[in-house]
Amino acid sequence: MDSESARRSAAGVGMVTLPIGAAILLGPDRVARALKFGDHPVALRVIGAADLALVPGLLAGRRRLPWMAARAGLNIAIAVYCVRLARSEGNIGPKVAAAAMAVATAADVRTILALRRGEDRPL
């Protein structure tokens, strides 16, 4: 992946993160029911707000690398939360979400590495 493709990939992550973060923030109960996540509206709102906080940098940041790194870190934090939730409550939704976060993080790492090469600056 070249530097320009990596920048487009980061913007694509932002475009996907925007509606997901908004849906989670504004309708945590609806999202929880749809994803079989249990009753955790406050935690879901925090996740949605954190997602939305990253969107401006992913879409329009001069340097996208720190925003993608933050996104990967958030993915890992969400996955850990989901694993703990799955263990304590046994709902299927958090298990699926944890796996999805792992896959998303792997894709994000590819973009992060390309951005790092292209921006030629350390995190």
pLDDT in tens, 1-55: 888 999 999 999 999 999 999 999 999 999 999 888 888 899 999 999 999 999 9
Residue 123 placed within a domain: no
Whether pLDDT at 67 is above 70: yes
pLDDT attached to residue 101: 95
Whether pLDDT at 56 is above 90: yes
Residue 122 placed within a domain: no
Residue 100 placed within a domain: yes
* Percent of the chain scoring above 70 in pLDDT: 96
- CB distance 121 to 63 below 8 Å: yes
Range of the domain at 10: 3-117
pLDDT attached to residue 120: 52
Query: At a CB cut-off of 8 Å and minimum separation 6, what does 108 contact?
Result: 13, 68, 71, 72, 75
pLDDT attached to residue 115: 94
- CB distance 98 to 82 below 8 Å: yes
The tally of domains found in the chain comes to 1
d(CA 98, CA 10): 21
Residue 50 placed within a domain: yes
**Residue whose C-alpha is closest to residue 109's, from 77, 69, 56:** 69
